Amino acid sequence: MNRIAAFIFTFLSISLFAQDDAATLKNIYKQSLTNGQSYDWLDYLSNEIGGRLSGSENAQKAVEYTKAELEKLGLDKVWLQEVMVPKWVRGEKEEAYIIVGNNDLKIKESVNICALGGSTATSDKGLQAKVVEVKSFEELAELGEEKVKGKIVFFNGAMQADLINTFEAYGGCSKQRYAGAYEASKLGAVGVIVRSLNLRQDDFPHTGSMGYLDLPEDKRIPSAAISTNDANTLSEIIASGANPEFYFKQSCQQYDDVLSYNVIGEITGSEFPNEFMVVGGHLDSWDLGDGSHDDGAGVVQSMEVLRLLKESGIKPKRSIRVVLFMNEENGLRGGRKYAEIAKEKGENHIFALESDSGGFTPRGFSFDCSDANLAQIEQWRSLFKPYLIHFFEKGYSGADIGPLKNDNIVLAGLRPDSQRYFDYHHASNDTFDAVNKRELELGAATMTSLVYLFDKYGVNQIKNVPQIKD
Ligand SMILES: [Zn+2]
């Protein structure tokens, strides 16, 4: 073959290759949208089981249900991986009110709160004290022990509304939820109330994890979230000079660790069975809603990836695992356990993709990998264009797959549109009706497409992948 003939031959085979991938992606999206199973799985997980806090009966039901469903898919292996998890129980519904006035005329205004995960209870009678409002740890430090001692500290830092990536806004104030009690207790505070991490004005308090770090037991003060509407009310009352007191009562409790499981299914690779690719989400959720967005969506999308590969007749070269991680919300024990066992067994993980940002319209992925790998992955961008998937950036992947990080692995996070995520996150309105079927299915197809391409081309050969012209 002369050089021109060789060039034409290469050009034609490359074009056919690219067309082949475009057709495969088209079929994956079609299967997900017309014959998908993710929404039905989510329906069961949300409506038949419900909130799945680690260590709860519902978490165990979710383990059994998803294992049974994976077994129906005809995968090569399905198994449970033991992991000990913390068990924190909310107890009775919390009560709270703002009290203004003196003994002659006292006005009580009832407000919506919920205990933060990991918090201690108040006494049976509840806790009542004067309130000091701050918007940051710096403001708290400025007040000092003199003004904080014996008070309830009200952290009212709001998520920054002009950040388009709402996760950035979340990251900007999540530390007041996680470490607010720790910082306030060091200055002698008796309790902590935290503005819910929610960009919307509404009446739902949003829970989430908090930690006492190295505080001794007697310094562990009760900590709760207050709805954004009620946070504004409390702030206005304080600003009026009324010097209110705040009352709250919660009966949550921390128990000893209990046995739970990660749920794992695998399609064993046909050419490189010892190269592992993981796709996953977390099976546990908070207890207030049914955890449909966080992270029921990620769970069913990850299950759907393996189902869609099989349905589309794709036989992966590498071993592809779905991992439904336990205990992301208040411990990350499942993610750590999976990585620990993978290391122990010397399993070579080359790729992991997590969906834990809600079941909204997918926009793309963020990647935690080298610049060279990202440049290679970016060559697939045009294949995703018909599905309005355009976001391929370096960034955070996911909490559960984080412990797998090393120099060889590409970690990825599905990035759905994030504008409405924090309307529901960790609150009682995170329910099945908040998830749109098509949006969920588009996410599953987008994840499957990336897994398909990554399996086909591997991490080092990606640069050979041709691009389709727009
Ligand atoms: Zn989550």
- The dihedral built from the CA positions of residue 381, 371, 440 and 262, taken in this order, carries a sign that is positive
pLDDT of residue 466: 43
Q: How far is the CA of 391 from the centre of ligand 1 (A)?
A: 20
Instruction: Decide if 139 is inside a domain.
Output: yes
Contact 253, 89 (CB under 8 A): yes
Q: Is 384 inside a domain boundary?
A: yes
Max alpha carbon distance in the chain (Å)? Answer: 102
pLDDT average, residue stretch 30-41 = 98
| 303 and 326 housed in the same domain | yes
Residue 117: HSE in the Cβ half-sphere, 13 Å Cα cutoff: 21
Are 298 and 330 in a shared domain?
A: yes
Say if CB 153 and CB 192 are below 8 A apart. yes
Q: According to DSSP H, which parts of 385-435 are helical?
A: 421-424
- Does residue 238 sit in the same domain as residue 264? no
What is the CA(325)–ligand 1 centre distance, in A?
10
> How many angstroms separate the Cα of 18 from the Cα of each of 14, 26, 194, 383, 390?
6, 12, 52, 8, 18
Distance 294 CA to ligand 1 centre (A): 5
Dihedrals phi, psi of 460, to nearest 5 degrees: -95, -20
pLDDT tens, residue by residue, 361-387:
999 999 999 998 999 899 999 999 999
Say yes or no: 202 and 337 in one domain: no
Per-residue pLDDT tens digits for 252-275: 999 999 999 999 999 999 999 999
Question: Which of 225, 251, 277 is the endpoint of a domain?
Answer: 251
Contact predicate 48/221, CB 8 Å? no
pLDDT, residue 104, reads 80
Which CATH number characterizes residue 309's domain?
A: 3.40.630.10
Find the 423 Cα to ligand 1 centroid distance in Å. Answer: 14
Type and span of the H or E element at 255: strand 253-267
Q: Are 300 and 431 in contact (CB under 8 A)?
A: no
pTM of the predicted protein model:
0.93
pLDDT at 130 over 90: yes
Residues assigned a catalytic role: 328
Distance 464 CA to ligand 1 centre (A): 35
**Which of 251, 267, 295 is the last residue before a domain boundary?**
251
CA of 356 to the centre of ligand 1 (A): 5
Is residue 365 located within the same domain as residue 228?
Answer: no
Q: 136: closest CA among 172, 85, 108, 99?
A: 172
Domain range for 63: 19-87+256-457
Look at the chain and report how many structural domains it folds into: 2
Residue 2 lies in a domain: no
Query: What is the model's pLDDT at position 333?
Result: 98
3-class DSSP state for residue 88?
A: strand
CA distances from 12 to 379, 466, 468 (A): 18, 11, 12
Domain boundary among 219, 251, 283: 251
319 and 357 fall within a common domain: yes
Mean pLDDT in residue range 422-436: 98
Count of alpha carbons within 13 Å of 115, Cβ hemisphere only?
26
Looking at the fold, whether 63 and 75 belong to one and the same domain comes out as yes
Asked, for residue 310, whether it belongs to a domain, the answer is: yes
